[in-house]
Structure 1
Amino acid sequence: MHDNDASPVNPLPPVVWALFLLIFGVEIILSLASRGLIGGAGGVGWRLEALSSYGFSNEWMSFAVERGALGLDTLKRFVTYSFVHGAFTQTLFVGVFLLALGKFVGEVFHPVALLALFILSGIGGALVFWVFGPEQGWLIGGFPSVYGLIGGFTYLMWLRLGALGQTQLMAFRLVGVLLAIQLLFGLLFGGGSDWIADLGGFATGFLFSILLAPGGLSRLLAKMRQR
């Protein structure tokens, strides 16, 4: 029997809303502080303090590894950098991608798996940035984690195209287009090396989706037995 009161659009998973509200909650506080509306005179410097305290620094990470000082303050940055941004515009784009990709991936993934995918992709993006990025590079913002959701989306599309007998490489169109746009903007307006972390986040998200997707481990074991 058809439910006339049912919403024609599936609601967003609560974990997506939680991540979205956390990211924008931080941004609203920093934006209000930068305008002097909260925090008084010291609030103007809150964003810089947040980026310094919670952003990911390649130089900081290399120094910690060399000294064997991988304490909580260093390790936390693998996660916290995704929740602080340099400007409202960056936060807005991250939020839009989070809602769009989170809805699609969240309709298939368990909420815990979706949260793990977001966090692990951010960690993977930071590690790739540390290894291949500039020695003094700084990483802030949720794009690597969002690219991890794109990796999850790509994996689901890859499975769907395979089931339909179509070319599975078509699943990589979205990330290809986004990276091409980033490259174009970088050439036209100048840009940093954040794309390295984005690509690392995407690869991490795609690979972990093999395990995190429903039936992922059993599907992987079945494929290994076939070989």
Structure 2
Amino acid sequence: MSQPDNNSPINPLPPVVVALFLLIAGVEVVFSLGARGLVGDASAIGWRVAALQKYAFSGEIFDWMLSSGVWPFEHVMRFVTYLFVHGNFTHAAFASVMLLALGKMVGEVFSAFATLAVFILSGIVGALAFALILDNPAPLFGAYPGVYGLIGAFTFLLWTRLGQMGENQARAFSLIGFLVGLQLLFGLVFGGNQDWVADVAGFITGFVMSFFLIPGGWARIRSKIRHD
């Protein structure tokens, strides 16, 4: 008799994606419960504001570090910590859903280290672009530049597959085109902020990194260099 098929029809999420999700969700749950007075003391209502002041990325602080040549860790860490604090529950929820969806597709091809590297380094480059391109006193916070890095990696995978199939590779950029267009539209209608600069920088970073981080990527690049 054949053995019953015990495989789940749903592929499990990569552990690194689950870990990132739990970190973002855990922080948001603490802030939301504190704001409702369900945990902590009377100061809990201000935990989110305090966290944003301490962990959000600030272009003004970056300018000060760049001009003074002083790089204290408490401010350098903002290049990464800003990815894990959000403005409200909805802000965090949308980021979490995108993280799970894109992280699953990327993490099934990339290694855990590569997936984490795309998310973190895209966030860092996104913050740098935000500080260097814009003169915006508003802080940068939220996981979106890192998530857009994962969109960049997913776009690379789709771009590569379309090329192998001999189809139009420009179709791979439909998702990022739609998302950026949507952000610009909301900005025009509702007067949104300029965070899209960090998001686009994160996307470009994730796409470029994928040439090196995809399994066998380094070998293909070395081979191409030798042949050229």
**TM-score (normalizing by structure 2):** 0.96
After TM superposition, the runs of 4+ consecutive aligned structure 1 residues lying more than 4 A away are none
1:72 corresponds to 2:79: no
Residue deviations 1:96-146 (CA, integer Å, cap 9, x gap): 000100110011000111111111111011011111123413100000000
Alpha-carbon spacing, 1:97–1:3, altered in 2? closer, same or farther (3 Å) = farther
Q: Residue in 1 aligned with 2:167?
A: 166
Residue deviations 1:52-85 (CA, integer Å, cap 9, x gap): 1000000011001111111211210010000000
Give how far 1:169 is off. Answer: 1.2
Give how far 1:226 is off. Answer: 3.8
Counterpart code for 1:44: I
**Contact (CA 8 Å) 1:152, 1:209: kept in 2 or not?**
yes
Q: Using the alignment, how far apart are the partners of 2:4 and 2:180 within structure 1?
A: 42
Q: Percent identity of the aligned residues? A: 53
Instruction: Map 1:92-171 to 2 at 5 A.
Output: 92-171=93-172
Q: Residue in 2 aligned with 1:45?
A: 46
Counterpart code for 2:35: S
Alpha-carbon spacing, 1:99–1:2, altered in 2? closer, same or farther (3 Å) = farther
Q: Using the alignment, how far apart are the partners of 1:9 and 1:223 within structure 2?
A: 37
Counterpart code for 1:225: R
Runs (5+) with no aligned partner, structure 2: none
Q: Using the alignment, how far apart are the partners of 1:117 and 1:17 within structure 2?
A: 15
Secondary structure of 1:138's partner? coil
**Contact (CA 8 Å) 1:147, 1:201: kept in 2 or not?**
yes
Residue deviations 1:134-186 (CA, integer Å, cap 9, x gap): 34131000000000000000011111111111111111111111111111111
Counterpart code for 1:141: G
**Contact (CA 8 Å) 1:134, 1:193: kept in 2 or not?**
no
Counterpart code for 1:139: L
**TM-score (normalizing by structure 1):** 0.96
Q: Residue in 2 aligned with 1:5?
A: 6
Give how far 1:3 is off. Answer: 5.7
Give how far 1:223 is off. Answer: 2.8
Q: Using the alignment, how far apart are the partners of 1:170 and 1:226 within structure 2?
A: 29
Q: Residue in 2 aligned with 1:181?
A: 182
Runs (5+) with no aligned partner, structure 1: none
What is the RMSD computed on CA atoms of the aligned residues? 1.3
Q: Residue in 1 aligned with 2:58?
A: 57
Alpha-carbon spacing, 1:135–1:223, altered in 2? closer, same or farther (3 Å) = same
Give how far 1:2 is off. Answer: 7.9
**Contact (CA 8 Å) 1:26, 1:84: kept in 2 or not?**
yes
Q: Using the alignment, how far apart are the partners of 1:223 and 1:194 within structure 2?
A: 37
